[in-house]
Amino acid sequence: MARRDWLRLALPVLLGAGLGLLAGLPMAEPWLGATVVLALLLIVHSWRLMRMVGWLRTDTPERAPEPGGVWGDAVAMVVRLYRDRRQQRSRLLRLLRELRRSTAAMPDGVVLLNPNAEILWFNRTAGRLLGLRGRRDVGQRVENLVRHPEFADYLRAGTRAGPLPLLIARMERRLSIQIVPYGAGQLLMLVRDVTRQARLEEVRKEFVANASHELRSPLTVICGYLETLVADESLPPDLAEALQQMREQARRMNLIVSDLLELSELESSDAEVQGAEIDVGALISQLVCDADARPGRHAELTTSVESGARLLGDHGHIRSAFRNLVDNALRYTPPDGKIALRWWVDQDGGWFSVADTGTGIAAEHIPRLTERFFRVDAGRSRAAGGSGLGLAIVKHVLQRHGARLRIESAEGRGSVFTCGFPLRRLR
Amino acid sequence: MDTADLSHHTSRRFNEDLERVRTRVLAMGGLVEDQLARGLTALIEGDSALGHQVASEDHKVNAMEVAIDEECSRILATRAPTAGDLRMIVATIKTITDLERIGDECEKIGLIAARLASVERPADRYREIKHLGRGVQGMVHDALDALARLDVEAALRTARTDRMIDEEYESIQRQCITFMMEDPRSIRRALEVMWVVRALERIGDHAKNLCEYVIYMVHGKDVRHVALESVEHEISVHAAERDQGAR
């Protein structure tokens, strides 16, 4: 409290007491005079206090009393506090309203859930996409209204890898739902309408499949004639040379088309394949046989099958993936290099690796290796042959087996490609 | 003090039990909806593998019915519910029976879809069935929504759409008869189609039953075998009485 306030409080008391004393002197009762004056002062103060309390109780800052003195200051301060608070509140309210308006206008649906998966709040888009209604559905468990069995599993799953695609057949709509935990066990549910994207993706896949299929038959004819023409010995040597090259390129084109077809077949479904048990040891020796049957000298292949565990999967796809890895190794390893194939099992799963002592890959290229037609060095790689789709096929095959591809490489020293299969795929 | 706490505790546990049953019934409804959607897709797309899958997964619906039934019996035996809680249990037992029947009809649709996949599809690609199927799917969905929200108005509205389903059923029936007369080679397919349409119509009836159980659960009125108009009247009277009581 400032000194001024002390003075304003103490001065009337002292003055009053002094006056009372003086007024009491003639009657020889100075204390009585002082008491009466002080009592009057107390009554005035009490009355002002009562007015202020009475005013505070009515909660109407605009009708503030003006009791004067220290009480007047107090009232003024309270009024200021009131005003500040009001301004703050209206600012907060405005902010909140803006926030709610902007989330309501979001093109994606948002639903807030409490730890029991009961709906706390949702925006308009979510209401439209999921068929939720106004205030009525707040407090309702979300799986009571979004009743798809996959959604219930997704909601209950502890760890969620990515968004869940959901087909709303009744409305011919495809949704993508993602649940993100936040705060103390609350869940944020994002709903996106991906009908258009899904349709476009379908059109693209169909186009690739159809185009490759259509390209195949004319190519077969061209290849057939070229084979017979190359065998014809009466042709002049320069023409024979040209035909030889044409045959090589036609073969390569055939390879690309069949790889494209394989890819589009792999892409046609995201579901994990069940398949049958595969004897990995036998598959590896088959791969070595195929490699040895290739014309020309190539790097030495060594194998090490350390486990008799069988792999559960689609035989054709797995063989294609492994063969692509071996082909790559052969292509980028000089004839005096070494290639090691290995199959082993540990507590994390089953592993198939192809290690070579070839040219290796620079670190910045590794993340892009599985892209279609990606070439580290366009000129040299094309000369080495191959469709440019091999690793994309490997990636898709592994994806459909719940497996993943690990690539380690040091430029100039060689690369290791490892396929890691989960334990549930082993027998 | 202790006894009050205990009773509070038991009633909370009881509420949780009831809530869990409700969620499981709706989960069963979700499974049935899914079966219906996939059965229709199998038929319309001519996907025999999907048809067989739908048929082979009917046991899931049956297993859920048995499990929920047991849970209800347990609650009846141990908690001896009364009034609204008792109505909820009774209505649940009826609801799962109808849901299970819908599941059976879906199994039938799946099997027929698998059979029809080998037969040439008609030029209109089952447009009528698709339309009827959408209507029935919507009805099952709305009925389950009404159950989730205990929304009597929505239940009544949904029950009313059953009439439209029935009309559509009859018009497809007539159409099939015309096809059969025009081209006797199509009789086999038309007969199979009739089975599907019949199944869909039955599903519509079961969905209507679900709506009636919602009304029973909320108002305690048994509205089976009663014309919808009088049901509406009774409910409005009941609601007015209740409001008066509350006042």
Please provide residue A353's backbone torsions phi and psi, each rounded to the nearest 5 degrees.
Answer: -130, 150
pLDDT band at A209 (very low <50, low <70, confident <90, very high): confident
Q: What is the pLDDT of residue B145?
A: 92
Residues A282 and A401 in one domain: yes
Which residue does chain B place closest to A131, by CA atoms? B145
**Quick check: A399 contacting B, CB < 8 Å?**
no
Query: In angstroms, rounded to a whole number, what is the distance separating the alpha carbons of residues A41 and A47?
Result: 10
pLDDT in tens, B78-128: 888 888 888 899 999 999 999 999 999 999 999 999 988 887 777 676 888
Residues A420 and A290 in one domain: yes
Percent share of chain A, pLDDT over 90:
15
Residue B132 belongs to domain spanning: 2-246
Q: Enter the ipTM.
A: 0.78
Residues A163 and A110 in one domain: yes
Number of domains in chain A: 4
- Higher local confidence (pLDDT), A12 or A327: A327
A359 three-class SS: coil
Q: What is the pLDDT of residue A107?
A: 85
Query: In angstroms, rounded to a whole number, what is the distance separating the alpha carbons of residues A114 and B74?
Result: 29
Q: Is the pLDDT of residue B225 over 80?
A: no
- With contacts defined as CB-CB under 8 Å, which chain A residues touch B37? 167, 169-170
Q: Is the pLDDT of residue A77 over 90?
A: no
Q: What is the pLDDT of residue A378?
A: 64
Q: Is the pLDDT of residue A364 over 70?
A: yes
Q: Is the pLDDT of residue A24 over 90?
A: no
- With contacts defined as CB-CB under 8 Å, which chain A residues touch B148? 140, 144-145
Torsion (CA) A200, A203, A204, A206 in degrees, nearest 10: 160
pLDDT in tens, A367-411: 888 888 887 776 655 566 677 888 999 999 998 898 989 999 888
Which residue does chain A place closest to B141, by CA atoms? A170
Q: What mean pLDDT do residues A82-92 have?
A: 92
Q: What is the pLDDT of residue B243?
A: 65
In a mutational test of the A interface, the residue from B50, B149, B151 whose CB has the highest number of chain A CBs within 10 Å is B149
Domain-terminating residue out of A193, A219, A242: A193
Q: Is the pLDDT of residue B5 over 50?
A: no
Task: Specify the CATH number for the domain of residue A210.
Answer: 1.10.287.130
Alpha carbon A195 to its chain's center: 19
pLDDT band at B54 (very low <50, low <70, confident <90, very high): very high
Number of domains in chain B: 1
Task: Specify the CATH number for the domain of residue A156.
Answer: 3.30.450.20
Least confident of A137-141, A259-263, A294-298, B47-51: A294-298
Domain-terminating residue out of A193, A226, A244: A193
Q: What is the pLDDT of residue B4?
A: 41
Task: Specify the CATH number for the domain of residue A341.
Answer: 3.30.565.10
Q: What is the pLDDT of residue B2?
A: 38
Q: What mean pLDDT do residues A237-250 have?
A: 87
Query: In angstroms, rounded to a whole number, what is the distance separating the alpha carbons of residues B37 and A170?
Result: 7
Q: What is the pLDDT of residue B6?
A: 44
Q: Is the pLDDT of residue A95 over 90?
A: yes
Q: What is the pLDDT of residue B203?
A: 95
**Quick check: A128 contacting B, CB < 8 Å?**
no
Which residues, in sequence order, are bridge partners of residue B108?
Answer: none
Residues A176 and A161 in one domain: yes
Residues A295 and A414 in one domain: yes
Q: What mean pLDDT do residues A326-351 have?
A: 90
Q: Which of B202, B49, B173, B34 is nearest to B111 (CA)?
A: B49
How would DSSP label each residue in A216-279?
Answer: HHHHHHHHHHHHHHHH-TTS-HHHHHHHHHHHHHHHHHHHHHHHHHHHHHHHT--SPP--EEE-
Residues A72 and A126 in one domain: no
Q: What is the pLDDT of residue B1?
A: 38
Report how many Cβ contacts below 8 Å link chain A to chain B. Answer: 47
Residues A210 and A302 in one domain: no
Mean pLDDT of chain A: 86
Residues A163 and A286 in one domain: no
Residues of B with a Cβ under 8 Å from any A Cβ are: 19, 22-23, 26-27, 29-31, 33-34, 37-38, 40-41, 134, 137-138, 141, 144-145, 148-149, 151
Q: What mean pLDDT do residues B228-243 have?
A: 71
Residues A230 and A243 in one domain: yes
Domain-terminating residue out of A208, A233, A267: A267
Q: What is the pLDDT of residue B61?
A: 93
Q: What is the pLDDT of residue A94?
A: 94
Residue A397 belongs to domain spanning: 276-425
Residues A311 and A418 in one domain: yes
pLDDT band at A340 (very low <50, low <70, confident <90, very high): very high
Residues A290 and A410 in one domain: yes
Task: Specify the CATH number for the domain of residue B192.
Answer: 1.20.58.220
Q: Is the pLDDT of residue A237 over 90?
A: no
Q: Is the pLDDT of residue A201 over 70?
A: yes
Query: In angstroms, rounded to a whole number, what is the distance separating the alpha carbons of residues A225 and B38?
Result: 49
Residues A230 and A188 in one domain: no
